[in-house]
Structure 1
Amino acid sequence: MAEKQSERISTEGSAASNSERKAVTLAYDCEQGFHFIASIESDSNGASAWVFLPGETVKLPVVVSASGAKFSNGKITYWSSKDEALLEYNGKEYKQCKVNRKQSIWEDAKLRGVDFRAVGNEPGWTLEIRNSEQILFVTNYGQDRYTFTAPEPVSNAATGSTEYKASADGNTLLVTLEGKRCDDTMADDESYPTTVTIQFDGRHYMGCGMPLH
């Protein structure tokens, strides 16, 4: 079934879940080239944070703090306030860790189970594919949202491409993924491994994407 509705795309991670449980995913760039990801969850029982570190993932309970949100198990501490965080890990203290807004969105999609994600411009759009489940196409700078049941992809070894064809409620979607480099000139010439072409209700869209799993 195709669904069209207003959508707000957060630049600080998405709240993804049901009415009882919410999660916000944030990717951080710290001093000394250190990077980590935190997914803050909240439900009727309180809050906790999953912190993804080099070689390990830990779940930290919330602890009392004078400001911001603080999570700690006594050995590892993650303390966030607005767009910055402090991390105590492996005997070191990483200060002034900054939220990487763009990376946070990609990491959030990955944690939500998205297998492939793509972006494009003029007008701004995003595409998320959950294999064997759902395709989500959001266009018009986040104003219009369409969901389709994901069909079996059709691959062409000769061209190195994969196609998804879907239709519902009078809307038709054809997604072509090509395994060739794609440069997003609207985002400081950032490069992606996949070139994406979309035909949606007779309109043509071009963009870039990459697999998340």
Structure 2
Amino acid sequence: MILPTAYFSACLPAALFVLLSGCVAPAASTDPVPAGTASTSASAAFNTAPLLPSSFFAGGAEQFSAWHCQPANQHLVTATTGNGELRLWSLHGAWQLPAAVVASGARYQAGDISFWNRGEQAQVETPRGQLQCRLAEQRDVFTRSDHPGVMFRGQGNEPGWSVDLAHDTPTLSLVLDYATREETRAYRVSVMDNENGRVVLESTRPDQPFRLRLEAGACFDDMSGKPFPTRVTLTFEGTQYSGCGQGITPGS
């Protein structure tokens, strides 16, 4: 499941360097609950996949782009959404930039942060200075057609592994050791930090421990260099796996 697009786009903070999903979720209703429904609702919620931060997703974009920038050898990830806005990820978080008027190319700006794209070159301006960037890699977004029933996919290398989160129930599927081992496990949410784009999932069984950490931020496949919007760390049976991932929206 994914937080609604309106939740993402309606709450771009005025302060600089704030994550895309940095709004406070609507307060829970205080209306009385009819007798006999509370336990049913709690049970249904427990068996439903959680809402993930919007900054894990492409927002309707068809591709992710990787940019290599100077000075300081910084790397960025961008995606142009279906409504003409730009999602921007750095190592420090994620932002959403509305389109701005420009004579040539495509320019996006929110507050003092701007991204001006002219073909395979881009200029990024922040209060800390200016970056000159070049397009390095592009990748088509994961879709439900590619991965049916999956709301988030993470993957890594050496050894090859992947993790898929089911879109409807709190279960994940692991493929480990170059696809020689497959596991399906139930999980619980131990951290859900929408403001900072951070989620931690852990096993529901003490005899089968694992931990999956997801963080919004620029990530690059360590073999291909392909760009992703989420950093993924899996700890399973005493081994730590590092990789990248992306949320997958319904209907994609």
Which TM-score tier does this pair reach, normalised by the shorter chain? Answer: 0.3 to 0.5
Larger RCO: 1 or 2 (CA < 8 Å, sep 6+): 2
After TM superposition, the score normalised by the length of structure 2 is 0.39
